[in-house]
Amino acid sequence: MSTTLYDKIWNDHLVDQQEDGTALLFVDRHLIHEVTSPQAFEGLRNSNRKVRHPNLTLAVADHNVPTTDRTKGISDQESKIQVDTLESNCKEFGVQLFGMDDKRQGIVHIIGPEQGFTQPGTVIVCGDSHTATHGAFGSLAFGIGTSEVEHVLATQTLVQKKAKNFRINVNGTLPLGVTSKDVILQIIGNIGTAGGTGCVVEYAGDLIRSLSVEQRMTICNMTIEGGARAGLIAPDEKIFEYLKGKPMSPKGQNWEKALEYWNNLKTDADASFDKEINLNANEILPMITWGTSPQDVITIDGKVPNPQNEKDEDKKNSIERALKYMGLTPDMAATDIKIDKVFIGSCTNGRIEDLREAAKILKDKKISSHVNAIVVPGSGLVKEQAEQEGLDKIFVNSGFEWREPGCSMCLAMNADKLKPEERCASTSNRNFEGRQGRGGRTHLVSPGMAAAAAISGNLDDVRKYQN
């Protein structure tokens, strides 16, 4: 029978299948961080269980870490306890940890690929919804809760039910200045934040194949914002090239064997999908979000919606509520939205290519005098690479602050946050109420659009800044 890539990975990881459809799935790779793991380790201790495969588990502190000078440690006591707890748990249970002072430390979804821990055809989980990122390598990767983290630590398996197959085809080529961030925002705008609920999404089409590995990660990363737990892309030469020689990638004979297996990871030509949509890349424009849900998207040349045009009462209320929170008026032009802050970073857009894209726009330019802007590289290695390329100087000369790696203002668990009513152009993934700080207002954009907004002082069209 013809099967999809998701079917193949699923079938290849089935440890047990109950008659009611509940399955026990083997987990090849488990990433953990300080926020969603302490209660899981506590659970193991309480029931006298150990970590079944410490060498299939990798830990890093990212959500709580300061992005400013780290030599004095973490000043917030609760954050410090959480990071220290991760360290002691990893020591006790024999799990490898990239501590705060390790050059390899960074956002969990950036370090996995960087180290070659993320591999095609694997099942990868993490107590974090943006685990979908790793699907860019042709793995089945999804976020889990803390009870499930404990389950994976104890058994190296997960209790799951099979999801539906949903294919999103993107064909054509992207206009100048339009990026994979705009593609995924457009997709979420089309399907809605619950559009992928109960599904695993496969991204396909010639546009997807033309994207770099890092651009693919941006798309898979935000799959969860469209409601699907996992999004994946069939692995190809670009993926194999990226992984070759990475510290945790297979070596020698194992590399050859792995490559043979990875080469067969693709959906059969006549496999059927429960759901399928098509997008034309040529028609995608630079996007922004105007509201408090990632589905609230408009193009940069568009206008903020007017609730009076909405017939459905619930939707109308929801638009009104979002406009009020965001401090926007109906029908105002996107480019009239004045911003206070810019954040470049996160597991969505904190990789080297993202920093290059923003730096290209910022070179020899100054950011607007009323804008406060920070760049938070996704990992210590991204930071090092950027510094070697002189990107840090471009950012600093333009008026940005150059920070240490971590999740930072994507979720504002550390000191980096918005004040009430402050407005931010952000390369992160969620514009929920309060996400970047209580009362803070978030507009999701691509790194180039964030750079353009920093220069203009309001949301602006990145295409104006292309040479």
Q: Which is nearer to another protein, 200 or 462 (CB)?
A: 200
Q: Which is nearer to another protein, 412 or 449 (CB)?
A: 412
* 415 is a site residue for another protein (CB under 8 A): no
Beta-strand pair 57-60/96-98: parallel
Environment class of 158 (CB within 10 Å of its CB; exposed 0-12, middle 13-18, buried 19+): buried
Options 70, 87, 99, 146; binder of another protein; rule CB under 8 A: 146
Q: How far apart are the first and last CA of the chain?
A: 51
Instruction: Give 3 or 155: the residue with its C-beta nearer to another protein.
Output: 155
Q: What is the dihedral of CA 401, 424, 381, 126, to 10 degrees?
A: 150
Q: How far is the CB of 321 from another protein (least distance, A)?
A: 8
Binder among 411, 425, 453, 455 for another protein (CB under 8 A): 411
Nearer to another protein, 148 or 404 (CB): 148
Q: Please identify which residue in 2, 11, 55, 75 interacts with another protein, judged by CB under 8 A.
A: 55
Residues 6+ apart with CB under 8 A from 29: 56, 58, 112, 117, 118, 119, 122, 123, 124, 125, 134, 139
Q: Write the DSSP symbol of residue 462.
A: G
**Residue 335 is a binding residue for another protein (CB under 8 A):** no
93 vs 57: CA distance, rounded Å: 10
Secondary element (H or E) of residue 32: strand 29-32
CA distance 286 to 357: 14
Site for another protein in 353-392 (CB under 8 A): none
* Helix pair 352-362, 447-456: axis angle to 10 deg: 30
**Site membership for another protein, residue 397 (CB under 8 A):** no
Of 426, 201, 423, 133, which Cα lies nearest the Cα of 294?
426
For position 434 contacting another protein by CB under 8 A, the verdict is yes
Is residue 78 close enough to count as binding another protein by CB under 8 A?
yes
CB 273 within 8 A of CB 4: yes
Determine which residue in the list 193, 210, 306, 385 makes contact with another protein, applying CB under 8 A.
193
The answer to whether residue 57 forms part of the interface with another protein (CB under 8 A) is no
Q: Which one, 44 or 271, has the nearer CB to another protein?
A: 44
Distance from C-alpha of 70 to C-alpha of 415, rounded to nearest angstrom: 13
Position among 45, 103, 244, 257 found at the interface with another protein (CB under 8 A): 257
Indicate the residue among 151 and 423 with the shorter CB distance to another protein. Answer: 151
Q: Is residue 145 near another protein by the rule CB under 8 A? A: yes
Give the interface segment with another protein, choosing from 328-336, 380-388, 392-400, 431-439 (CB under 8 A).
431-439
CB of 89 to another protein, least distance (A): 10
Gyration radius (Cα) of the chain, Å: 21
Q: How far is the CB of 422 from another protein (least distance, A)?
A: 14
By CB under 8 A, the residues from 301 to 330 that bind another protein are 314, 318, 321
3-class state of residue 26 by DSSP: strand
| Nearer to another protein among residue 16 and residue 336 (C-beta) | 16
Out of 9, 32, 35, 222, the only residue in the binding site for another protein (CB under 8 A) is 35
Residue pointed to by tokens 């080297």: 352
Sole residue written with tokens 């929801």: 318
For residue 229, what is the DSSP state?
S
Cβ closest to another protein, residue 135 vs residue 177: 135
190 binds another protein (CB under 8 A): no
Distance separating alpha carbons of residues 339 and 361, to the nearest angstrom = 18
Segment near another protein (CB under 8 A); pick from 46-54, 181-189, 270-278, 344-352: 46-54
Minimal distance in Å, beta carbon 193 to another protein? Answer: 6
Among 2, 15, 73, 283, binds another protein (CB under 8 A): 15
Closest CA to 395 of 344, 461, 459: 344
